[in-house]
Structure 1
Amino acid sequence: MRALVVLFALAVAAHGADWPMHRGGPQLQGRADMAAPAKPDLAWTFSAGKPIKAGAAIVAGRVFVGDDDGMVHAVEFATGKELWKFKTEASIEATPLVLRDVVYLGSSDGNVYALEAATGKLKWKYETGDKVLGGANYAKNPTGDGEWLLIGSYDTNLHCVDAATGKVVWTHATDNYINGTPALFSTGEIVFGGCDSYIHVLQLIDGKELRQIDSDAYIASSVAIMDGLGYVGNYGNLVLAFDPNGPKGSEVKWKYRDRSFPYFSSAALTADRVIIGGRDKRLHCIDRATGNGVWKFDARGQVDSSPIICGDAIVVGCEDGRLYCVNLADGKERWEYEIGAAVTASPAAADGLVIVGAEDGNLYAFGKPAAPAKP
């Protein structure tokens, strides 16, 4: 077990101020290494020309994002200038994963693509049996060098693929679609929710299922992990906290229910709070230890966007066409920016900018880029 912990630690080494994947890192906690902008100052916009429902990745001065036309765009972080683009065969809703100068992302055409981060040149393509809407995660290869990618598909399988070659390592079948990004526990287990209503816990080495936890309704979002516990919302109007190693039948630690509306948003985590958007037009703050509600923020539309925590504030998009920034402490609004088109994509944040796409076909950057470090 200790070997797996070490391997996991290598895989999740600090990424500095970058935002290299869905929710920022392999435990999908949705926390940025920066404060939220004090005001919604628009630094730049980039026009993709088609709706953007995917989250962005930010690495080494570049921003990577997909759009509804199946185009992958790389733009300059400081200016929003396009650097390259790559066409897939169907829409993209998955957040890219950037690892070792390669961009990995799935498309609704059923393929996972590996592209050179500098040029957009195709390195390899891996075919699943159906569309891929969730982002990839990764872990250190426990049997050798390099990394393995972990990717869910609507073919009902979780796919483990060698990052260097695009060759399949193993697949694990479930009973329905897999929509979210799989997360990784520090002990090396993989965890994800499925549209079969189960939370699945697998071992990394061979994809063997260690446990299924019944959530009572299908799960379209990603599980967030902290301190050995998982947190996820479902379509049964619940947010759950669970312990994958708890005694059988008592893995669920608490259930939070407010109103009878489902959760599509993925949770963001702090040491003591769980923040999640709901289709009840609210952003919910829940006590991480007890599952009791702390506060609720009322938006004007469904909150399918997954919130991110930037210091003492939370930034989240909404289907009412606005980007909101609210206090972490009490949920009071700090500012809002009216984009005028639905924002279902999850924001990304790095080096002073919050970056989010909208269904008007634009990518927006708010804040001021941090000054380059002096040599």
Structure 2
Amino acid sequence: MTAHQNTELRVASADDKREWDAYVSQHKDSSAYHQFAWLEAVKDAYGHTMLGVLALCANTGQVVGVFPAVLMTIPLLGKRICSLPYCDVGYGLADNGNVLNEMHEFLAAQMRNVKGKKLEIRGVEQTSLETTQFENRKVRMLLPLPKSSEALLSSFKSKLRSQIRKAEKNGLTFELGTSNVLVSDFYHVYAQNMRDLGSPVHAEKWFKAIIKNYGKSSLISVVYHNGQPIGGGIIIKSGNNASIPWASTLRDFNRLAPNMLLYWSLLSHCADNGVSVFDFGRSTFEEGTYKFKKQWGAEPQLLNWQSFDESNELIDAKSDAESGTSRVREIAENIWRELPLKFTIVTGSILRPYISL
């Protein structure tokens, strides 16, 4: 434990879960990823070390800050600390800037202790910016929700409402829940979609770990066509906000508009169950997925991902183009798309724990 003036800092354990989550749920800048469940799921599914920092007031013992983080040991690349892997955000939450800085320094010290190479913090721009500053950059898309699905539906433009109705007219249905059957049906769609996108998949055990640890704060929606799963998404909740880390549809059925029914099923559930902000997740400003999310009324918030070296100095983020990786990635994605689905599931499950994106 490290003490700074009247703040005590330590690595949080499972015993701290209730206090941690209570603090996260009431903090105005928190996300569903800040829940202790995310750290537990990472540990359960992939064996990485939980390194969340808990800040306590030395006088009262009350929580004054949390900083979720994971220690990843990556073959050939060594150790790194990430806040947080497999999602868009994971910055610290605190009562004030001093506590936040102390927790950041504490993580940097942990990194030196384990001879880590990099500390990555996936932050957001809390101040509102002119959209001219968003050009070619990653944003997350946030939608404020009214108090009912009825009010939400009436807020949509007629074109959007007709697309939702189109999916229903095409005979598509959806089911909500957290059963193993729904996990498997979601995974069937997700694995095929990720292969088609040229991207390695998470193992099915990762999603089971998410559902197990988030419990009632998680929900799966699966869209069916004649009994076949053709779309699926998972949301996680914290306090009055919800995030959708994964959503997939099978491209052969996209003409039936399964993605419209998928998102509507989850948005309407959230509006009717006390969620006031829905996080659609990461997109590149003005690109395809951005425009899809924008049509629902979501607004962009700039993501600000930063990496720090052993001395806690900011590492300059070179663009993919400068470092020459974008071409390599393109080739790898094209090869991956041609591989048999079963092979991509097995191989992806081996690779994915070490890919923090």
Structure 1-normalised TM-score?
0.26
Higher normalized helix content (fraction of residues): 2
Structure 2-normalised TM-score?
0.27
In our comparison, the structure showing a higher alpha carbon Rg is: 2
Compare relative contact order (CA 8 Å, sep 6+) and give the higher one, 1 or 2: 2
